[in-house]
Amino acid sequence: MDKKLKFTFDMVPPSWPLCFVQDCPMATACISHLAGEHVPANVSFGPAVYPTALHDGRCVHFKQIRIMRGAWGMNELFRQLTRADSATLHRRVKAYLGGNGTYYRYNRGERVLTPNQQENILAMFKNFGYTKCLEFDHYQDVYDFS
């Protein structure tokens, strides 16, 4: 994995809290603070971590900066299914991801699956007896906002 992945503000989920607490001892390792350092000039409003979150040198909203191996696209996974299994597995994966719209966002790469989500989806295929070629269409290193 790329430990020096370039960070841009468009990577930050819209509801992610930004941190601007300059004297926080955890700031250099916190993704909320990293996001706060990259706010573009045209953004003037949004969720934030307040200074009151800091207690005895620790922030209650601290989230370690991590890069994860995200995945998107499930066309190859579904291509191998028998007709009898296809509809059932599609329904289960869509339900797991929160519905049709969300499923298609993951399938088109508008969102990436976390490693945990990947494991859970592949487990569904394994439960149906599929064990070969269990890979998503695309993988990419991304900052972990989960």
**pLDDT of res. 60:** 97
Give the whole-number percent of the chain exceeding pLDDT 70.
Answer: 98
d(CA 142, CA 38): 16
The pTM is what? 0.83
The two beta strands, 67-72 and 138-143, are antiparallel
Each domain of the chain, given as residue ranges in start order, spans: 9-59, 68-143
**pLDDT of res. 3:** 59
Q: pLDDT tens-digit profile of 6-61?
A: 999 999 999 999 999 999 999 999 999 999 999 999 999 999 999 999 999 999 99
- Name the residue type at position 127: N
Return the structure tokens found at 20: 């601007």
Residue 139 backbone class (left: φ over 0; alpha: ψ -120 to 50; beta: rest)? beta
Helical spans, DSSP H, in the chain:
31-37, 75-79, 83-97, 100-108, 115-127
